[in-house]
Amino acid sequence: MLRMITTLAAAGLAATLTAAAPAMAQDDAQAQDETKVIILGTGTPVPDAERSGPSMAVISGGEAYVFDAGGGMVQRAIEAWQKKGIEELYPTNIKYLFLSHLHSDHTLDYPELAATYWWRRSDRLQAYGPKGLLGMTFGYYAMQATDIGLRTSGNQPMKDPTLYQVDAHEIAEDGIIFDRNGVTVEAFSVNHGDIKPSYGYKITTPDKTIVFSGDTTYSETLAEKAKGVDVLVHEVISEAGWKALTPDWQAYHHSAHTLTSELAQVANTARPKVLVLTHILHYDAPIETARTEVEALYDGPVVLANDLDEF
């Protein structure tokens, strides 16, 4: 009798599990399809062994969309592939790059990404950015001319000897600059001091909206674009650290970047589901002041990002 009951119970459990399997598979598929935001670099021009140059990746529909390419970004992408299993961030799988502006700390890994294992690519890298991007791209060709010549004219096997080339697109005006694979990218002008143009980006995927500030002072336009987004990734200056600077450096940084009190204003207008702090200028103050100063004036979720954080 006990054996029969046990058998019946086992059969019932098996039926329950069988019925649940499609739902579980569907949940797994949905989790795989869900858009991910990976922070590839949170640093500034100040060298920091723990923080690569500014970069963010949006993973959607099996593709990676990378925003800015600060120094170390490629190694962080490789780390995300090796340690987190994010295949889309294997360098030759990255097809789309968007540069907010052409300061060195946001672009140093542009040639690194273009050159890394390029003969194994299936598609050319597509790069979007401000005026000057084409000149930077031709500069990469010139810098790598010897390497490119040896690889394309020697006996190295390859499918397509032109894949070192980048399809570079200079942004002509604000608006939608990319609409493919169910993903749109909107560029909008921001004020980053003397360097013009400089762009922020709004990314819309089937299930998420993300705004990436690039480098900017307080921007009402950005606050409007970021209203209700899932993730707002924004640069920041610790006010405590900034106040300790000399007046000339205070003036310089404030003309190009966003103080914590100003970022709190942006966040109070936009009310993102999560505010992610990156490109964290803190000078001699503890880096945590960037978060605590924003939290003192804004009651929403705030994260002080580290490289490879995921949202």
Per-residue pLDDT tens digits for 108-159: 999 999 999 999 999 999 999 999 999 999 999 999 999 999 999 989 999 8
Confirm whether 53 is domain-assigned: yes
Residue-number span of the structural domain to which 118 is assigned: 35-172
Confirm whether 218 is domain-assigned: no
Contact by Cβ (8 Å): 259, 242 = yes
Confirm whether 119 is domain-assigned: yes
pTM for this entry: 0.90
Share of the chain above pLDDT 70, in %: 90
Confirm whether 213 is domain-assigned: no
CATH number, domain with residue 87:
3.60.15.10
Q: What is the mean pLDDT of residues 233-250?
A: 97
Confirm whether 101 is domain-assigned: yes
Confirm whether 104 is domain-assigned: yes
Q: Number of structural domains, the chain?
A: 1
d(CA 61, CA 23): 21
pLDDT digits (tens, 9 = 90+) for 209-239: 999 999 999 999 999 999 999 999 999 999 9
Torsion of CA 302, 305, 308, 311, to 10 degrees: 10
Q: Looking at the predicted structure, is the pLDDT value of residue 35 above 80?
A: yes
Confirm whether 247 is domain-assigned: no
Predicted local distance difference test score (pLDDT) of residue 3: 33
Confirm whether 102 is domain-assigned: yes
Q: In what order do the strands lie in the sheet with 36-41?
A: 36-41, 55-60, 63-67, 96-98, 125-129, 166-170
- Quickly state the pLDDT bin for 9 (edges 50, 70, 90): very low
